[in-house]
Structure 1
């Protein structure tokens, strides 16, 4: 069943540049991750974004990065790895975003979001949190149905297991329309996790990184 949840945020952009956009994501491990990356590139020409599930959608935060990383590591230390099973291709009807539904692991993603979004990570999100894996967006007119059909057909032929373990999380910051910075990486372990010291922040252009470009009028999407 198609969802009515928009899935991607829209609204006012960065106010006077005094806050940065941050997000927390989990990249899909290989070989499934590579298959989904290639599927995205096939659906949207030139798309080289890594497939991921978002735990904290993009949000403007006032705290400095070291404080955010410290607090994030503390909260994640109380959380354990869990499995996700991907379901079928669905559509957010209000935005036309084509995505893979979460068949198992929905409850855990909601719980993670609830634990992580409070305090210094709080942000008034534009839409209710709806765990999913984006495949395509911005497709309009007659091309939309063809893209949706191609997505469903390709996904039905995926030779890899749709189940994977969520244990590595990446905290990222969007600093301009063409780049996300990896702020910290976190490993979930049973009995306690923590941040992987990043040394210096790693910057990468979008094709090698994690984010999608955004305009000054629209926050970045995950």
Structure 2
């Protein structure tokens, strides 16, 4: 069957998601329109396609054990010089994101993996572009603010075209409805295959 590249993330809702995606494109980041605006819980991870049912079951269990929590973004930060990234900071909800990502990557589940860097929840707005353009992103979004209630996370697959497409959404709580987060208006939300 082969492997698939998966990621797990919390979507940044509208109108903030599209706004940050457009700003990212405007800074010259060629990956902007292939990546929905998000807070990563599991970075790109190669998984045997046959393990997808186990991945879905695991993520459903993780989501069922979580409750909705407030998320607030404010201002910018950077990982430079270690990594060429400018991001919007998560100033509320970081502890809940850290708790979630640990459970997503738990050694007892199908998505166990080590991270290259210590986990730091954030929303990337520029990656791997010219230093001057990253400086612009850092300065122009310094006053950015957004807040919402997080009630779910999603599983994404990266296609051969480099675009990330949502496969499934996992609402928090055992059977309790999650607060609705409007989907980001983009083709990246279309299922990659009939697996979705």
Query: Which of 36, 39, 44 is 1:53 aligned to?
Result: 39
Say if 2:16 is the partner of 1:32. yes
Quick one: distance in 1 between partners of 2:155 and 2:136? 34
Q: How many residues align?
A: 175
Match of 2:193 in 1: none
The gaps in structure 2 that reach 5 residues or longer are 178-185, 190-196
Runs of 4+ in 1 over 4 A off after TM superposition: 191-194
* 1:166 CA displacement: 1.1
* 1:188 CA displacement: 1.6
* 1:90 CA displacement: 0.7
* 1:18 CA displacement: 4.3
Matched residue SS, 1:64: helix
RMSD of equivalent CA atoms: 2.5
- Preserved contact between residue 37 and residue 50 of structure 1 (Cα < 8 Å): yes
After superposition, what is the alpha-carbon deviation per residue over 1:170-193, rounded to whole angstroms, capped at 9, x for unaligned? 10122424333432111224x546
Say if 2:196 is the partner of 1:209. no
After superposition, what is the alpha-carbon deviation per residue over 1:138-167, rounded to whole angstroms, capped at 9, x for unaligned? 222444433432333xxx2x5xx6211111
Query: Which of 75, 79, 86 is 1:92 aligned to?
Result: 79
- Preserved contact between residue 27 and residue 134 of structure 2 (Cα < 8 Å): no
Match of 2:155 in 1: 171
* 1:45 CA displacement: 5.8
Quick one: distance in 2 between partners of 1:192 and 1:162? 28
Say if 2:8 is the partner of 1:20. no
Quick one: distance in 1 between partners of 2:3 and 2:113? 12
In the TM superposition, what are the counterparts of 1:1-222 in structure 2 within 5 Å? 18-44=2-28, 47-48=32-33, 49-62=35-48, 64-93=51-80, 94-118=82-106, 119-152=109-142, 156=143, 158=144, 162-189=146-173, 191-192=174-175, 208-209=187-188
Quick one: distance in 1 between partners of 2:131 and 2:17? 29
Residues 143 and 85 of structure 1: CA distance in aligned 2, closer, same or farther (over 3 Å): closer
Quick one: distance in 2 between partners of 1:182 and 1:145? 31
Residues 76 and 168 of structure 1: CA distance in aligned 2, closer, same or farther (over 3 Å): closer
* 1:40 CA displacement: 1.7
